């Protein structure tokens, strides 16, 4: 049976893809989005947002806007959030307000008018460092890498021996090393705590590094692939912090959208958190190199040798819970996804704001 689904933050990169999938299966879609200039560049309605979507321009922290957006809604996908680890470390009030308070306002109104289910976007950032194995075979959930530097990028044990990164499962203990991570953890916990208390079903999806066509190329705090693409589009070298050896899990946006739609309906989803990743890893330096080649450019990344506060070394997903419980696996191969990203990037223009963002971090002592 068709439902009316509210997507908060639904005019963004992921939300537009989710909206399209819901419309294709016959649901009615409403979006509440503040159309932040940093992401949307001042447009009144993103061109990629399907015309059938009922767009409400408003802030999730605005009680009246939330009340109006919730009228007649059967379920909610909560994507609205300020995004960016680096920026969260100096625009603390903005991130805590948008992510924590915004979620609180939404849930406060859902208490008054419960829906069937709410699916909230969490983040792999809550893990901090991923899971590691020590030389003696011990599996370590918490790794101290508070003072990384040249020659000491990799986490080690107490005797200075290197640790081997492992796929990170949902049971790993959170290690919240940035304001952004704190906020995402609060968002998922509020959802999973309050939803069942008021007769709703709650689900949280911990997204890994989402990429694909449609990402905001001029936003220096978006995903790393979009940042690199924006730099390369302007014939500038992608900036890679540390030595570039840090490993991440890149998952295509269409796969992520499919994960949200699956979590919205699956009978075994409520009360759970699920990793949404490809289950593979690639180094950040390699990402820059492969993207440049795919764009036909002979431009090597600039390895800065600097560390940013809040960054982690390795984290990639153990995707088995989503596979075993939801029947969900990512389908898009990384190189295949890169081709589609590059084809889209070739038709875009981007304002390069990366150096401005770097200066913001440096002046605050957040880059060393």
What residue has token string 């088995």? Answer: 320
Report the catalytic residues.
Answer: 180
- Residues 124 and 275: beta-carbon distance below 8 Å: yes
- Residues 308 and 365: beta-carbon distance below 8 Å: no
- Residues 120 and 191: beta-carbon distance below 8 Å: yes
Closest CA to 264 of 192, 210, 326, 321: 326
- Residues 278 and 208: beta-carbon distance below 8 Å: yes
> In which element (H, E) is residue 166 found?
strand 164-166
Task: Give, in order, the Cα–Cα distances in Å from 112 to each of 67, 70, 106, 178, 324.
Answer: 10, 11, 10, 32, 34
The span from the CA of 254 to the CA of 213, in Å, is 10
Closest CA to 255 of 280, 237, 236, 285: 280
Q: Which two tokens stand for residue 61?
A: 């922290």
Q: Which two tokens stand for residue 332?
A: 């898009």
């Amino acid at each position: 049976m068709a439902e009316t689904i509210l997507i908060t933050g639904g005019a963004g990169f992921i939300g537009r893809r989710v909206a399209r999938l819901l419309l294709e299966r016959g649901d009615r879609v409403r979006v509440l989005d503040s159309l932040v200039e940093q992401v949307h560049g001042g447009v009144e309605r993103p061109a990629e947002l399907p015309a059938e979507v009922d767009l409400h321009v408003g802030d999730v922290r605005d009680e009246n806007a939330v009340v109006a957006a919730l009228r007649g809604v059967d379920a909610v996908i909560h994507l609205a959030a300020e995004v960016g680890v680096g920026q969260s470390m100096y625009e603390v009030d903005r991130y805590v307000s948008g992510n924590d308070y915004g979620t609180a306002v939404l849930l406060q109104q859902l208490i008054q008018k419960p829906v069937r289910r709410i699916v909230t976007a969490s983040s792999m950032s809550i893990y901090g460092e991923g899971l590691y194995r020590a030389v003696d075979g011990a599996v370590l959930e918490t790794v101290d890498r508070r003072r990384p530097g040249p020659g000491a990028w990799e986490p080690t044990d107490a005797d200075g021996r290197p640790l081997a990164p492992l796929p990170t499962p949902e049971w790993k203990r959170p290690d919240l090393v940035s304001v952004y991570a704190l906020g995402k953890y609060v968002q998922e916990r509020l959802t999973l705590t309050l939803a069942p208390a008021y007769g709703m079903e709650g689900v949280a999806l911990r997204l890994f590094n989402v990429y694909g066509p449609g990402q905001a190329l001029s936003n220096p705090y978006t995903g790393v692939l979009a940042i690199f693409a924006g730099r390369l589009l302007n014939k500038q070298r992608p900036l890679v912090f540390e030595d570039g050896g840090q490993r991440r899990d890149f998952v295509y946006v269409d796969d992520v959208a499919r994960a949200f739609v699956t979590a919205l309906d699956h009978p075994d989803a409520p009360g759970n958190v699920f990793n949404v990743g490809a289950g593979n890893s690639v180094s950040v330096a390699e990402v820059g190199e492969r993207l440049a080649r795919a764009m036909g450019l002979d431009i090597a990344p600039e390895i800065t040798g600097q560390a940013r506060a809040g960054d982690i070394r390795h984290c990639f997903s153990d995707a088995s819970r989503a596979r075993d419980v939801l029947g969900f696996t990512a389908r898009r191969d990384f190189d295949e996804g890169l081709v589609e990203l590059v084809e889209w990037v070739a038709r875009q223009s981007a304002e390069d704001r990366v150096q401005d963002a770097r200066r913001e971090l440096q002046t605050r002592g957040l880059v060393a």
